[in-house]
Chains A and B, each alone.
Chain A
Amino acid sequence: MSSDTLAPPVPVGSGGPLTVLHDAWVVTLRNLRRMTRMPEMVVFSSIQPIMFVLLFAFVFGGAIPVPGAEGKTAYREFLLPGIFVQTLAFTAATTSVGLADDLHKGLIDRFRSLPISRSAVLAGRTTADWLQNLFVLVVMAVCGLIVGWRINDGVLKAVAGFFLLMLFAYAMSWIGAVVGLSVRTVETANTIGFIWIFPLTFLSNAFVPARTLSPQWLQNVADWNPVSATVQALRHLWGNPDGYAGAAKMPWPIEHATWVSLFWSVLILAVFIPLSVRKYRSVST
């Protein structure tokens, strides 16, 4: 070391909103770099959804009738919004694992010892996961179009659907952040992810019409599940069959699915962003 070690430290930003964005972006870039360094991660993260689309479309497609829709591609059109939401819900596990890994390797300690905003590391992680999701969504959508899924209701509603979907994915990511900061190991983060996300996505209208769920209380759970609201909103906005054709009355949250989905996502963000920032401040390895 030379004597210039004595030089005064470089002044750092005051912590205003622009500073937070800058810090979050630096961390986002770092996380994205990780994806390019581990291309196998990106390949597998897109193979899995493709596999889901194909398996469900061709294995269950013949067995699950969708009320009010006929033809070979009826179930596929019904299925795709469900697969989208399910796949993107799993972003929560991605975020959990990523943060648990950083925590375990001491990177969170390094970040916490730097004079950066407390939310920057979390925002950087969720943003990187969100961008990866965008890529996965494109892959899935192309795959869906190939097997016969269509958007039938115009550009504006199509965009509104994708917005709702990506907002929901972002909200799930923040739940994952809290989980990731609460568990001790990467393995636990991964396992826990499966334990809560699988029931969350399956106890819904994502893969089968919710009216076929039994007993009745399961239908009630499915009706109020944020996953169902989001899936229903997408089917509605994109003009895909929703399985409620011929039903006397739609459950309330399904009838108002677009607003209910929006409400759920905003509520999740409003609860889990402050919660995860609080966890981050006091987290210890």
Chain B
Amino acid sequence: MAAIEAEGLVKIYGGNKKAKEVRALDGVDLAVPEGTILGLLGPNGAGKTTAVRVLTTLLRPDAGRASVLGLDVVRKPTQVRRLIGLSGQYAAVDENLTGRENLVMVGRLYHMGKEASAKRAAELLEEFTLTDAADRPSKTYSGGMRRRLDLAAALVVKPPVIFLDEPTTGLDPRTRIAMWDVIAGLVKGGTTLLLTTQYLEEADRLADSIAVVDHGKVIARGTADELKAQIGGERLQIVVSDRTRLSEAAELLGRMGTGEARVQDQNREILVPVSGGAQLLVSAIRELDAVGIAIDDVALRRPTLDDVFLQLTGRAVEGEPEPGAEPEAEMEPQEAAR
């Protein structure tokens, strides 16, 4: 039995005269074996958060069933709540309480008793390097500290199953990597984890298996390597100097590749799936040189999950920042809306 199971989950929003019906979940099946991490990967609005809300008993599905450690989330919500920890997309800590008070409150709501709650809070603050800030109101915390506190709040009773909804959205790259270490550490203890993310790199790095979600449906699943294998092996990436010779070069490279060459006009870039590795790279450069096409850049690269997404949906991941770009820029509209 998997620790988290979902079968045919459907959740429909709206559908009255005013709003068009939105199928936030449109028949989602999931199975997360005990002690593993499933990465639920998809762009904004794909249905990831809705799935988490159903699995954590916050939302009733319109169809389908889901269970956590064998307990049905609709019929046995209270028992399920005893076994799960949830850390949401919006860091749900009380900003008027200190870090310590937040954790003690959660402990007391689990009926751990005053002393046990205080002890557990101290442990968690230590573990998440929040001890120095423990007695400051959490509104003074940085984004990364709040996320850590939020995650700590989800771990107060050491739940065997944890749900993390976009745990690193809006964090700067350094804080994100620190958060990854914390999350990776969780599973060493045997915890089962479901993680949603719109960062392909994050799923690649943390998850044992990945389910790609788009428009409320799981459109692909497997390990990161399996997904990459789905779209073939390496790809040759070439940037030509002269835009007018782009299509000529693409035709030439297309004949050498194992699939269709993809041309990106404004970057003067050609991407073509190939097999044959470095040797093929050499022949490609020779052939281009022979017909007098100058190149600015050339690379042979392993497919990324970005390529997987492009392949599966025919479009790039929406809202995915350029590698190395500051993710904060993406967070701003949400922050402003608060």
Contacts and interface: CB of A to CB of B under 8 A. Distances in A.
Interface of B is mostly: loop
Interface centre among A5, A27, A111 (most CB of B within 10 A): A5
Interface string A94-109: 0000000000111101
Interface string A4-42: 111101111101000100110011011001100110000
Contacts of B95: 105
B154 to A, nearest CB: 8
Given A5-B158, A26-B105, A106-B88, A12 B110 contact: yes
Q: Which 9 A-B pairs have the closest CB atoms?
A: A5-B189, A106-B92, A115-B81, A106-B90, A110-B92, A113-B86, A37-B96, A34-B96, A6-B190
A284 B153 CA distance: 20
A214 interface: no
A216 interface: no
B109 A105 contact: no
Contacts of B101: 30, 33
B59 A284 contact: yes
Contacts of A4: 158, 189
Contacts of B79: 115
Given A12-B111, A110-B92, A104 B190 contact: no
Given A10-B111, A26-B109, A34-B94, A115 B58 contact: no
Given A5-B191, A9-B158, A30 B97 contact: yes
Interface residues of A, number: 39
Interface centre among A9, A110, A284 (most CB of B within 10 A): A110
A282 to B, nearest CB: 7
Interface in A187-236: none
B189 A2 contact: yes
B57 to A, nearest CB: 7
Contacts of B91: 106
8 contacts: A1-B191, A5-B189, A5-B191, A6-B158, A13-B111, A26-B105, A26-B109, A27-B109
Contact of A284 (B53, B155, B185, B338): B53
Interface residues of B, number: 48
A114 B60 contact: no
Interface of A is mostly: helix
B186 A26 contact: no
Contacts of A1: 127, 155, 185-186, 188-189, 191
Interface string B176-194: 0000000001101111000
A105 B92 contact: yes
B284 to A, nearest CB: 48
A253 to B, nearest CB: 40
B187 to A, nearest CB: 8
Interface in B76-96: 78-79, 81-86, 88-96
B110 A115 contact: yes
Nearest to A19: B111
Contact of B58 (A22, A33, A112): A112
A115 B96 CA distance: 23
Contact of B189 (A6, A23, A105, A106): A6
Contact of A114 (B89, B106, B186): B106
Given A30-B105, A33-B101, A113 B111 contact: no
A116 interface: yes
Contacts of B81: 113-115
Nearest to B127: A1
A30 B58 contact: no
Contacts of A10: 110-112, 116, 157-158
